[in-house]
Structure 1
Amino acid sequence: MPTTLRQAARKATVAALSGALGAGLLTVAAVGAAPAATAATTCAGTASLYGVLPDGRLTFSTITPATGELKKVLVGADLGFEPKAMATLNFNTVLVTSTTGALYRLDVLTNNTSLVLERPPVKLFDSGWTHDKLTYDGHGHLYGTAGGVLIQYLVSQPKPTGSAHIGQRREIGGGFVLKTLTAAGDDRLLATTAAGALYSYTIDGAGGWARDDLKTSGWSAFDQLVSPGGGLYYGRIPTTGAMYWYKDANPADGSGGDIAYHNDTPVNTGGWTQQLLSAQPGTFTCATSSDPLDGTDIPAVKAAGRELMNAYDGGAWNSTAQWNCLDQLWTKESGWRYWADNPSSTAYGIPQALPGSKMDAFGDDWRTNPITQIKWGLSYIDGRYGTPCAAWNHFLANNWY
């Protein structure tokens, strides 16, 4: 790991201690009345970002959605050509253009400790890919801009081999003079301008488009903007290498009024030196249910908590030991009450998030939906401690986690 990235990761860990969860020393009044539950909108998933350093080396980073903290950074080999734009198709496939107009496919192999290419970059096209920006929506459409023109392509295979799998070129329109461009969902794009506006574009099946002006100013500092889906947005500031994160409660509503700014808890205040960044699409998703879990039924809430814990990270925590740790931790903190409110610290909910509003990253119903709170809490534990038992042991030693 480069020194700047390593130092940034350390800074994030140290700085995050100021926002750690406090012990849930609740009063009777604090847990006496449960606010009514409403339609449940819950989110889950991860944020995975590929990047290219100025020296041409590939990077892979993961960010904890619950807190915005940097969880992991891996650095791989030099690509062997000068990159210009990149788009992540899936976990192990990345498309990158060169400054000479070629398009390459990167076949990536990565785990917790290493990042390598399965083979040298595969050249799909020798020329014609002069796009200054590239992004993939996770639903078959690759978008790029060239000379202010927005272009759409159909990608028909997870590992395309050339024109047979990347085709149906369609010019959506002109006037797309943008500073950043990223896909935020199925045929939905997010972009910023040099003047600092934040735009959302929706592309229809006929190639028509509509634009919503989410913000008229305030976003000019970012030279990279990426989204793993679910209304999570990450922006990089090139002058400092800082990375900031934002949560749009409803990314499809055409309004920027419900975007939560987390500028007080950035991913990092420095260290993001990549010249290109691209998020794996659709790894963070949100769903709405009109039949929320009865959060006052504590046994049912616990059962849902165990089910979510067992499935977390591909089942990595699926054990009786980890469940016993999580059960004891949140029983101590809140009694598994979604309305548990610590008046002395503003910690709130089942995991006692401090402040409770942090849980908005996993749903705008964080005040009343135990599922939203549990998903946030699991992500928090993963990013801070790695496992429920590690969090419980920290609590036993310090009376907070």
Structure 2
Amino acid sequence: MTDASDDPVLQALGPWLGRGVLLAVSGGPDSRALMHAAAALGARVQVATVDHGLRPESRAEAEGVGAAARALGLPHAILAWAGPKPRTGLQDAARAARYDLLAAEARRVGADRVLTGHTRDDQAETVLMRLAAGSGPAGLAGMPAERVLVPGITLGRPFLVLPKAALVAWCEARGIPYLRDPGNADPRFARGRLREAWPILEREGLTPARLARLAERAARDAAALRIAAAQAFETARIPAADGTLRLDGAVLAALPEAVALRCLDQALTWAGAAPRRLERLEALVLESLLPALRRRAAIRRSLAGFMIAVDAAGTVSLVPAPPRRQRAADAALAAGASRLLGKGEPPAYIGAVCTDGPAEPRDASVPGVAHAKD
């Protein structure tokens, strides 16, 4: 076992290791460092590579990772994304498929933790892309170091505190080969355009380190707002024998707007509503709901498949919208553009519906854009 006392890579990874760990490894330097560092620490881990099957060379790359894992004495599996691929929303679908495959493999091998090689640079890109998308504090908090992947299995990012350059240097100092994905620099996609702009942004002081610090601060604020909103929701909720969710409008009207906004968001989540865009939630709460409560006016609005109504007594009720209106709302959400960095009107989220960074632009004309992310 290698001494980790003076090695920041080993120090970052060490606390995450133990029994029941699955490493998600592609051919890039970040996840290659993850695998070799785990081996250097003597960890008994499993390794998996997701092959999305969208580039001709992807299978050979996955097999190369397998050979390297076996040379380190680590069991390896290739997880293939089988079946037809969508013509639109390919990045979203590929990301979802990747995590579904990793969760299934973790269950198969008895792992309760999946680790990826995301770095501080990935965090900075995510924050900047969410800033361009108009996200609130929860979005600007970026990727959490740890989150629930599926019940019983967590997703961890031990290298989120390290710059990518540190992992590249770590691999090169040890002669560890790695691949560079040409898609990461493709200007047709948001991350590629963003990476072209980094030198200009850094000259103006917008560095990855500062964006990562912004993520930490936004995460603290988002957590405080979430707790305040949860407490307000429990105070405002009115027990109902018929199961209808009702809220005391007087409690909502007395809240700071940021807390009231999140209180209604939690109410919608509690009721089982569909994911919603921040700007639509803001329009409902700030432009309709709170003004109606303050002037004691009755209103009815729809959002995320639910009807939100205020009666003359100031009670707010949430009930499923009629099927036709719910289908229309779902279709409108599904049809929303997701182009970023000045390429359209993207959705912005208030809560945990956007957990791993915004999707790349939806462009069915560009094949083979999805790949395993370090």
- With the shorter chain as reference, the TM-score category is under 0.3
Choose between structure 1 and 2: higher helix proportion: 2
Taking structure 2 as the reference length, what is the TM-score of the superposition?
A: 0.24
Taking structure 1 as the reference length, what is the TM-score of the superposition?
A: 0.23
Larger radius of gyration: 2
Choose between structure 1 and 2: higher strand proportion: 1
